Amino acid sequence: MKRVRTVVTAVALSMVAGAALSAPLKLQPANPQPSPKAGLNVKYVGTGNQHKKIRDLSQAKSMLSKAQPGQPLRGLDYRDTSQGDDVMTFDSAYNVAAEITGYMRFDSPGIYELETWSNDGIEAFVGGQNIGYVTGIQGCEANQRTEVEVPRAGWYPLKIIYFQKLGTSCLMMKSGKKGERFTWTPNAVFGR
């Protein structure tokens, strides 16, 4: 009987843990609420050559202490480039690390789905929650889709660490209120 109770308790605890893991991540709004300009701030650093390759997120993060401010981003709408095209607003195509900061606006409270797309690695946070993570190299593709809870309308802090090794680059986001249209996130919802 004791063994049955132990098994039942273990099953119940794993169900509770599973439910907790699948609950939407609760975002924290910016406090105080800003009145930002359009776009996102970005700082870049690049090796400028194809021989000193950025291979993972850890290496990209270590390089960012030498990053310099770049031309602001219009949002997160940087589609897959052709090989050799510049990375976003940086003047190089290879081995670029970027730190992107600003805000994302949600017009109403509720449960939303957010999905980052990147080529290559990314660590993305909105409202203090990790909504995208790829440590290594990949083509331009979707990362995990994350459910978030937006407690009230307004601006939420955004921070992204991103890197591009070689070839083509992209950085994008899809979003939508749960049960409604899930589409590319318009640039107008980002501020700096």
Q: Which domains does the chain carry?
A: 2-191 (2.60.120.1560)
For the whole model, what pTM was predicted? 0.87
107, amino acid identity: D
Alpha-carbon span 9 to 158, nearest angstrom: 40
- The band of 11, judged by pLDDT with boundaries at 50, 70 and 90, is very low
Q: Which residues contact 7 (CB under 8 A, 6 or more apart)?
A: none
Each residue of 46-77: pLDDT tens digit? Answer: 987 666 789 999 999 999 999 999 999 999 99
Mean pLDDT estimate for the chain? 90
